[in-house]
Amino acid sequence: MRLALSLAPGTLFAGIAGGIVFPIFPIVGLRVGLSTFFIGAILAANRAVRVVCAPVVGVLVDRIGGRRTLLIGLAIQVAVIGLFIAGLELHHEGAGFLGGRLLHGLGSACVFVSAQALALQGSTTTNRGATASLVRTTMVIGIPIGFVLGGLLSETIGVTGAFLFAGVSTVVALIAAAITVPDLKATVAVRPSIGRVVAAARDLRLLAIGGLNFVLAFAGGGMVLTTLAFLVQDRGYTALGRNVEGTAGLLMGVMSIADGGLTPIAGRIGDRWRAHASVAAVSLVLIAGGLVWIAEASDVATTAMAIGVVGIGSAGLGPSVLVLLGDIIQPTERGLGAGLLQLCGDFGGMLGPLIGTSIFASSTELPYLVTAGLVMAFVPVALWLRRVEKP
């Protein structure tokens, strides 16, 4: 638990910074004449980079340690905010946003992979779910705060001011992580090579766990968060008198608060009953049900409840996949395992915006219904993974 708390300040403020910019991109993009497909490409760009570099970052974690890799990632994210602001000020929003998101892919890969590897390294079989859930909570709890702040700040101090606030948050994250995160050493001197990535990817159990992370990212961070601002604008929703960005930010916050708030509970349930795979299966059903509810919702309150259900499902699925990974990965390859897990999640997060924005052009309901069907297809996979859990 001490490890999770040490990660909290840095990952919290990094999450706030990432959340601030997310609800702003789609609306600003439309205002300056960017196509919905290009906006989707901007939102997916960081995921595309992480698909390529996450396994390599995992090997880097095993070689130089999670703390150093985490600090490198946070430093890169400071530069990312600078690119966003430059794009706005130079009136080249498309280039600035795309360039920033591409660089953000490398920085966020370092942050996410190192945090997950540290969670595996600093836990045991009996408390891995609790530790993984707390680490995941620190990774995601700042995002809903950022969603809300992004919408509110863009209304009050403008988009550039909101991005400047995100930059300050990232600097605070870097300083906090440098002070609090311990430098855990591997217990075995041998480090995996890059070639080990290919060998590990042939493990059917690892592919199944990666598939669950893929569908989690595709549905939540990929599909819902990418299309939500468009949904709010298309259906004319407004919450608490806010504009499109503000309403979208509040709705995004509902999902992330439900996710971050309930993640520790789900992790502890899985630890107590040694049933993380079963928790994952139930969570998939909840996510699918929430997606169908979003598609059929007719007002902002119902949409908020549906999004909350998706968040509850994500809370159960997120820590479960990390714990299941810990049950099969070797102690000397935790960074590699976290990198491969991140790769699968980022592949889903990359496809979600591209597919979601393309389908959304013809139907507001179809993206959510298609995604719900995809999520349900992975329920048997989660049930099959019960065989890998250690008693």
Is residue 215's pLDDT more than 90?
yes
Q: Which segment of 91-105, 217-231, 290-304 scores lowest on mean pLDDT?
A: 217-231
User: How far apart are the C-alpha atoms of 301 and 308, rounded to whole Å?
Assistant: 11
Specify the amino acid at residue 348.
G
264-286 residue pLDDT tens: 999 989 888 889 999 999 999 99
Neighbours of 172 (CB within 10 A): 18
52-63 residue pLDDT tens: 899 889 888 888
DSSP state of 387: G
* Whether 221 contacts 356, CB under 8 Å: no
Residue with tokens 């990359």: 350
At residue 390, the pLDDT reads 62
Mean pLDDT of the chain: 86
* Whether 105 contacts 77, CB under 8 Å: no
DSSP string, 337-350: HHHHHHHHHHHHHH
User: How far apart are the C-alpha atoms of 262 and 194, rounded to whole Å?
Assistant: 36
User: How far apart are the C-alpha atoms of 357 and 377, rounded to whole Å?
Assistant: 22
Residue that wins the pLDDT comparison between 142 and 160: 160
Query: What is the chain's Cα-based Rg?
Result: 19
Supply the pTM of this predicted model.
Answer: 0.82
Residue 183: is it exposed, middle or buried by C-beta count within 10 angstroms (0-12/13-18/19+)?
Answer: exposed
Alpha carbon of 37 to those of 34, 93, 374: distances in Å? 8, 15, 22
Is residue 189's pLDDT more than 60?
no
Is residue 100's pLDDT more than 90?
yes
User: How far apart are the C-alpha atoms of 111 and 47, rounded to whole Å?
Assistant: 13
Q: Which segment of 69-78, 171-180, 194-203, 227-236 scores lowest on mean pLDDT?
A: 194-203
